[in-house]
Structure 1
């Protein structure tokens, strides 16, 4: 990987939980089903066997992906960030565009991005434009819909637990 895979502690826990569920629960149950289906005779027309093998390959690919992402992960707790006056990893930033539309976004790791919940990946164009911004800064970003300018109106970080 050419850049670090920043992730919040909660995001890392979610990756680990998915990995553990696939490895400890779903995969063994599927192997059992495949074994049972293989014992039923002709495998070429056995739907349980064919689908099971296909699903097993999908699970193994996902397990490999999750393992690589967790190995490359650099867990960063945004609550412990020393400079809370600027937008860095884990910050919740409120921005206003040229049309006075307000949006609140949280800058999170790429693996935990969810645009519907206002969580944008650290390497997304808008997140890159907001990095290091202070309240009152104007940032111009090129998005698929065209170039937009945003003003940062608020920055917040989670409280230290």
Structure 2
């Protein structure tokens, strides 16, 4: 039987560090000010968890060592992401760029007239269910540089969709929203 199906891990099994959201090769790690704050807060949380685990006495020293190795790997990945982050904080107010909140209205397809709202953010900040789309996503790439009133074509699973940009805005996310996002 494959070890992938076994619940019990052996002490010598390698520690698997979960990967962060991938950045395409050669692409700058753009982040919003909010995104950098979230990354730093995540690192603070991991460091606190690491210190707590180090101070705790554990019956199973192998398990404790595995957990510390996992935290060390996650912190190393996060430190790398933070050190490569380039904060984007200024924008032309009349066109879609990184950090823009955009409202799109479907012109064609299964549900014409439907509006979608999302904010273009960094890959670590992306959460489609909350309306945060990575700047590397096809929909974000297709509207970059466009203005309100422009129509863009987007290829979807259902076919070609025509979308009109009805609104563009840039504003800072407030502290209350930031705390809510961190708790999820």
TM-score range, shorter chain: 0.7 to 0.9
Residue 63 of structure 2: aligned partner: 51
Tell me if 1:17 matches 2:41.
Answer: yes
- Report runs of 4+ in structure 1 exceeding 6 Å deviation: none
Cα distance, 1:85–1:75 mapped onto 2, change above 3 Å = same
Alignment check: 8 A CA contact 1:125 1:143 kept: no
- For 1:59-98, what per-residue CA distance to the aligned partner results, in whole angstroms no more than 9, with x for missing partners? 1121111111111100111xx32x2111001111100112
Distance (Å, rounded) in 1 between the aligned partners of 2:102 and 2:82: 26
CA RMSD of aligned residues (A): 1.9
Distance (Å, rounded) in 2 between the aligned partners of 1:32 and 1:73: 32
Residue 5 of structure 2: aligned partner: none
Listed as ranges, the matches of 1:1-161 within 5 Å are: 2-23=26-47, 25-33=48-56, 36-37=57-58, 46=60, 49-77=61-89, 80-81=90-91, 83-97=92-106, 98=108, 99-144=112-157, 146-158=159-171
**What's the CA shift for 1:151?**
1.0
Structure with more helix by fraction: 1
TM-score by length of 1: 0.81
Q: Extract unaligned runs of 5+ from structure 2.
A: 1-24, 173-184
**What's the CA shift for 1:51?**
3.1
**What's the CA shift for 1:118?**
0.8
